Amino acid sequence: MKNRILKIEHEVGLGGVAIGTAFENITDKQAEDILTGAWAAGVRHYDTSPWYGLTKSERRFGEFLKTKNRGEFIFSTKVGRLFEPVSESEVPPVMWKNPLNYNFRHDYTCDAVMRSIEDSLERTGLDYIDIIYVHDLSEDQVGDRYKFFMEQAKNGAFKTLSKLRDEGVIKAWGMGVNKIEPILECIKDADPDICLSATQYSILEHDDEVEYLLPAVKKAGVSLVSGAGYNSGYIAGRKRYNYKEQIPVKIEEKKKKMDTVAKKHHVDLVHAALQFVLAADAFAAIIPGASTPQQVTDNVKARTTEIPKVFWDDLRAEELIHKNAETPT
């Protein structure tokens, strides 16, 4: 069984989706303030992707982190898309509010992975990258090309990243996806170390993960990192769920019931959501995004906030969490 590489003091990290202008046009100065606040709060685990803001988030993280002692922090980014500069009029429609002028294409071949890593190192100015995730190789992102790209990755990205890890160029690799199936397929056919599970395991929605994903990664000796553990802000009160404005009715109803239980026990549901994820033994870390320095500080605080056991007992009694879900002790 592999060693768990991130179950250390860096359990609470910072994700780069918001800094990439996913929800609002965060300026360079605001991004710098968020990163400065994160560092001051003790955050030493940072995750981004060239996809976020069409390379903007990655550049912003690099601009800040390249001034720090490289041995003091963990940095992860992603492969799976290649980017080419274009004119402003040629930028494709994307979710980012103010992306840079790039177009992109999915590519999971060996050559594409090597180029992507080289580009990320150049954009960030860092000497090396700790963890590489194979990004968005799932049906919700690539549609009916999923099987084609998965075969491409099995013959390209997976083997290449294992080789780079074994040579010491990177420390670890895995999938970075919004679905559990690609992670299950990857651990069956390759030897990843750690996978970024986004929007999948949260206090609001986790049944399939408890029943299928967590047992599989435990058996394989693979760790997990949680992305979008607040369901892209919905748990914190945002009017979006898993990056979409349409919120499932059953989720709205479930959150109302959870809010009632939380209010009864004077619990901050955001704090409970963070602790719920980290209570699962498979999760080495959680990397919430942030639009303000205060959000980062609150995420760090959430790790040690005392939450009464009766709160978790009530959630389980009302069948608001899976009967076998791990909870804080």
Query: What integer pLDDT is reported at residue 6 of this predicted model?
Result: 44
Q: Residue 78 catalytic?
A: yes
The Cα–Cα gap between 234 and 40 comes to 26
Confidence of residue 118 (pLDDT cuts 50, 70, 90): very high
Query: What integer pLDDT is reported at residue 245 of this predicted model?
Result: 87
- Lowest mean pLDDT, pick from 4-18, 69-83, 144-158: 4-18
For a pLDDT cut of 70, what percent of the chain falls above it?
97
The answer to the question of residue 157 being in a domain is yes
Count Cβ atoms within 10 A of the Cβ of residue 202 and give its class: 0-12 exposed, 13-18 middle, 19 or more buried.
buried
8 Å CB contact between 280 and 211 = no
Kindly report, residue by residue over 122-141, the tens digit of the pLDDT: 999 999 999 999 999 999 99
- DSSP code for 210: I
Query: What integer pLDDT is reported at residue 162 of this predicted model?
Result: 98
The answer to the question of residue 323 being in a domain is no
Rg (CA), the chain: 19
The Cα–Cα gap between 78 and 99 comes to 17
Kindly report, residue by residue over 181-196, the tens digit of the pLDDT: 999 999 999 999 999 9
> Residue range 173-188: average pLDDT?
97
Kindly report, residue by residue over 190-242, the tens digit of the pLDDT: 999 999 999 899 999 999 999 999 999 999 999 999 999 999 999 999 999 99
Query: What integer pLDDT is reported at residue 9 of this predicted model?
Result: 54
Q: What is the pTM of this model?
A: 0.95
Task: Note down the domain range covering 296.
Answer: 8-318
- DSSP code for 23: S
Q: Which helix (H) or strand (E) holds 177?
A: strand 172-177
Q: Which two structure tokens, joined as six digits, stand for 124?
A: 């960030």
Coil/strand/helix, residue 256: helix
* 322, pLDDT greater than 70: yes
8 Å CB contact between 92 and 54 = no
Instruction: Give me the CATH number covering residue 100.
Output: 3.20.20.100
The answer to the question of residue 16 being in a domain is yes
Coil/strand/helix, residue 253: helix
Name which of 50, 121, 39 is nearest 72 in CA terms: 39
* 57, pLDDT greater than 50: yes
Q: Which one from 2, 7, 33, 52 is the annotated catalytic residue?
A: 52
The answer to the question of residue 127 being in a domain is yes
Query: What integer pLDDT is reported at residue 44 of this predicted model?
Result: 96
Number of domains in the chain: 1
The Cα–Cα gap between 289 and 24 comes to 13
Q: Residue 52 catalytic?
A: yes
Residue 2, CB-side half-sphere exposure with 13 Å CA sphere: 21
> Residue range 136-152: average pLDDT?
97
* 5, pLDDT greater than 90: no
- Strands of 283-286's sheet, edge to edge? 14-15, 45-47, 74-79, 131-135, 172-177, 194-198, 223-227, 283-286
Query: What integer pLDDT is reported at residue 329 of this predicted model?
Result: 84
As a whole number, the mean pLDDT across the chain is 95
* 40, pLDDT greater than 70: yes
Confidence of residue 7 (pLDDT cuts 50, 70, 90): very low
The answer to the question of residue 326 being in a domain is no
Q: Which one from 47, 130, 191, 298 is the annotated catalytic residue?
A: 47
Query: What integer pLDDT is reported at residue 43 of this predicted model?
Result: 97
Q: Which one from 29, 33, 46, 78 is the annotated catalytic residue?
A: 78
The answer to the question of residue 254 being in a domain is yes
* 167, pLDDT greater than 70: yes
Alpha-carbon dihedral sign for residues 159, 162, 168, 171: positive
In 14-47, which positions are buried (b, 16+ CB within 10 angstroms) versus exposed (e)?
bbbbbbbbbbeebeeebbeebbebbbebebbbbb
Kindly give the residue spans of alpha helices, DSSP state H, lying in the chain. 28-40, 56-65, 110-124, 139-142, 146-155, 157-166, 181-189, 207-208, 214-220, 249-264, 269-279, 293-302, 309-317
The answer to the question of residue 160 being in a domain is yes
Coil/strand/helix, residue 128: coil
- DSSP code for 18: G
